[in-house]
Amino acid sequence: MSQVPVNLPSWNLLAERSLAGELITRSEALAVLRAPEQVLLEQLAAAYRVRQHYWGNRVRLHFLLNAQSGLCPEDCHYCSQSKISTAQIEKYPLLATEEILKAAAHAEQLKAGTFCMVISGRSPTDSVFAKVLEAVRAVKAQYNL
């Protein structure tokens, strides 16, 4: 069984400082990210205290729509949407505004606080950008998302 490094910060102390309005240092933030799995439950308990203090048991739903899937011209080796990926994902061009509006209606029915759209690719063409802008304007005009 591997040893837990002794130079880890006290998660409870970090939580106390956060609750007091203090910011953690860069090195402390990196320690949180790099901590071994053995301390995960301790980290979660400390993070839960901070979350409970500020948010209680409330959650906010964010609705994410993949408005264009796959078909990306980039060759990023890590991405399932790249042209070289062999991942079994659904591939489709940009959804029509009507389909995006249906998804927004569903998000509103679910009481989502935010409706987000993502598309595959590094940057959209002018025509894709215009279509996305049209869809965003339509969603904003019809829904309180």
Q: What is the pLDDT of residue 132?
A: 96
Q: What is the pLDDT of residue 83?
A: 87
* Residue 97 predicted with pLDDT over 90: yes
Instruction: Give strand pairing partners of 72.
Output: none
* Residue 3 predicted with pLDDT over 90: no
Mean per-residue pLDDT over the chain, rounded = 92
User: Where are the domains positioned within the chain?
Assistant: 11-55, 62-142
Task: Select from 20, 9, 16, 4 the least CA-distant residue to 46.
Answer: 16
- Averaged pLDDT, 89-93: 92
User: pTM, whole model, 2 decimals?
Assistant: 0.66
Enumerate residues 6+ apart whose C-beta is below 8 A from 39.
4, 8, 11
Comparing 46-50, 122-126, 130-134, the range with the smallest average pLDDT is 122-126
Question: Coil, strand or helix: which one is 63?
Answer: strand
Share of the chain above pLDDT 90, in %: 76
Q: What is the spatial distance between Cα 48 and Cα 34, in angstroms, rounded to a whole number? A: 19
